[in-house]
Amino acid sequence: VTGSAVGVDVGGTKVLALAVDSGATVLAERRVETPADGEELLEAVAGVVVELWEAASGSAGGAVGVGMPGLVDPTGVLRFAPNLPGVVGLDVVGGLQRRLAAARPGGSGAVVVDNDATCAGAAEHLAGAARGVSDAILVTLGTGIGGAIVSGGSLLRGANHFAGEIGHMVIDPSGPACACGGRGCWEVFASGSALGRLAREAAEAGRAEDVLARAGSAAAVRGEHVVESALAGDEQAASIFELFGYWVALGLSNLANLLDPAVVVLGGGVVRAGDVLLEPIRRAFNATVEGAAHRPEVRIVAAERGADAGAIGAALLALSAG
């Protein structure tokens, strides 16, 4: 597959659009805020796509991939999105095809729409930390937990394209409420937001002095403060990562028992912490996965494509769709 495509990652607050070539190199980018209304969202996405087409000199159009934060069915309709309640039921493919065809008569190419975490997983599988790996699990620790599963060399899709919603595996049925309406989902304990909650509890108990100093108050503590403290060598931040790493590993070991991956790729802002986060996860994983001493080691590594992964993967999926 050659040429370039535009990949768009629609988040709860921001839309990131990238022009990407077939080697996964980013050629140009645009960012806009995410409108709350569905039609306005389609208008905004079509707008940045056309801007990127114009920025890529000589391009009359081309393939477009879009990652959406929710359940996207095979026809490109967003069925459920806890963080974008105003756009549920939106025909993203149809709405974009109409707008792009109007903007570039005869020039617009394929439009593919997929779950945002699936797109990020495609980027890591095709051009990142899981390149060349036929069985991998890609986990993004952000506001929630996003997942993509590569099995036998292909993205695992499921009957409705809803596979990989790993953040909503229930870890504790009596646990705190989740954005999905359930209770005790894995992402309540092991997302970037959950790290912030663990750190606030530690700060209130007097066990996170450096983290507290960075945040200004216990209520203002976020996961990024723990990352900064840990990178500066703070022992209390490392202790918070020990606990957080246990919860991350608990979900990973369930997934490994189910899917037998060679590699687990972890993405999201917290992964900037590096080994101070990854080592506790590896230790706890090897203590909980079935038969750890009797199976090849599952490599647990940081993602390589960072915050651009969703948009890059959306573009690569669009390129491979023609």
Which spans of this chain sit near Zn ion (rule: CB under 5 A)? 168, 178, 180, 182, 185
CB of 178 to Zn ion, least distance (A): 3
CB of 72 to Zn ion, least distance (A): 17
CB of 193 to Zn ion, least distance (A): 12
154 burial (CB, 10 Å; 0-12 / 13-18 / 19+) is exposed
CB of 147 to Zn ion, least distance (A): 12
Q: Which is nearer to Zn ion, 109 or 167 (CB)?
A: 167
Measured CA angle at 142 (ends 308, 23), to 5 deg: 20
Q: Which is nearer to Zn ion, 32 or 180 (CB)?
A: 180
Q: Which is nearer to Zn ion, 15 or 185 (CB)?
A: 185
* Main-chain phi, psi angles of 63, to 5 degrees: -70, 150
Q: Which is nearer to Zn ion, 3 or 182 (CB)?
A: 182
Q: Which is nearer to Zn ion, 7 or 144 (CB)?
A: 144
Residues facing residue 266 across a β-bridge: 139, 302
CB of 205 to Zn ion, least distance (A): 27
Q: How far is CA 207 from CA 201, 219, 222, in A?
A: 9, 14, 15
Q: Which is nearer to Zn ion, 101 or 180 (CB)?
A: 180
CB of 73 to Zn ion, least distance (A): 19
Pick from 54, 51, 53: nearest CA to 63: 53
The string of DSSP codes covering 14-66 is: EEEEEEEETT--EEEEEEEE--SSHHHHHHHHHHHHHHHHHHSTT---EEEEE
Pick from 125, 126, 18, 112: nearest CA to 66: 112
